[in-house]
Amino acid sequence: MIAVIDTSSLLALVRYYGHFDTNQRMYSFFKEKISNGEIIILDEILNECKGTSKGLVVTELDFLTDKEFLKEFKLPVRTEDMLAPAPTRFLNQVENNFTTPRAKLLTPAQFEVQKSEFLKSADMRMIIYTLNRIHENKDLDIRIITEESEVSNDNKAFKKIPAICKQLGIRQQTLPEILKEYSGIDLKIE
């Protein structure tokens, strides 16, 4: 199983579960899963983590800023020049299937600016990375991990990750759902 993890899930991990990790088992578990490529950290996700909640994620998961660790395991995964499989078809989906009713209220120029920002966003890079991995290997067990909900769109012109994943047939889970699937991690209150 490969999990492409979102900033929201990493933030939830350190905020809500980190306090119970007194023996550093979860810290070590996530470090191992990230180093062996089972949990994917994309460049844009790491950048968001550095600027979200005063860098709480990279403070608590300090290996994410350890230059030697990052170099040894070739992290984070670079997405800057990544294109979706069938780019023309994908752009049509972005314009026609991934928009919210709010997009219709924008002028053509405003829509193009927001579309450009959306395509460069960490959310879209997660989706494009996952689509590329699926394109390379149809049998690959890969999913996107996010705490976003399908319905909340924060009055934005484009849909949230879960809604887009549903349209593209990409498996999506929350952090608690994926933690249940991992053996080797046991969260309990004593």
Q: Can you give the residue ranges of every domain in the chain?
A: 2-181
Looking at residue 112, its pLDDT comes to 96
Looking at residue 170, its pLDDT comes to 97
- Whether 184 has a pLDDT exceeding 80, the answer reads no
pLDDT band at 186 (very low <50, low <70, confident <90, very high): low
- What is the domain class of 2-181 according to CATH? alpha beta
Looking at residue 178, its pLDDT comes to 92
Count Cβ atoms below 10 Å from residue 157 Cβ, excluding itself.
Answer: 21
Q: CA-to-CA distance for 74 and 103, rounded, in angstroms? A: 38
pTM, 2 dp: 0.93
pLDDT tens digits for range 116-138: 999 999 999 999 999 999 999 99
What are the angstrom distances between the C-alpha of 19 and each of 8, 16, 25, 49, 52? Answer: 17, 7, 12, 18, 19
Looking at residue 180, its pLDDT comes to 87
Per cent of the chain over pLDDT 90 is 84
Average pLDDT rounded to a whole number, residues 156-171: 95
In a 13 Å sphere around the CA of 111, the CA atoms on its Cβ side amount to 14
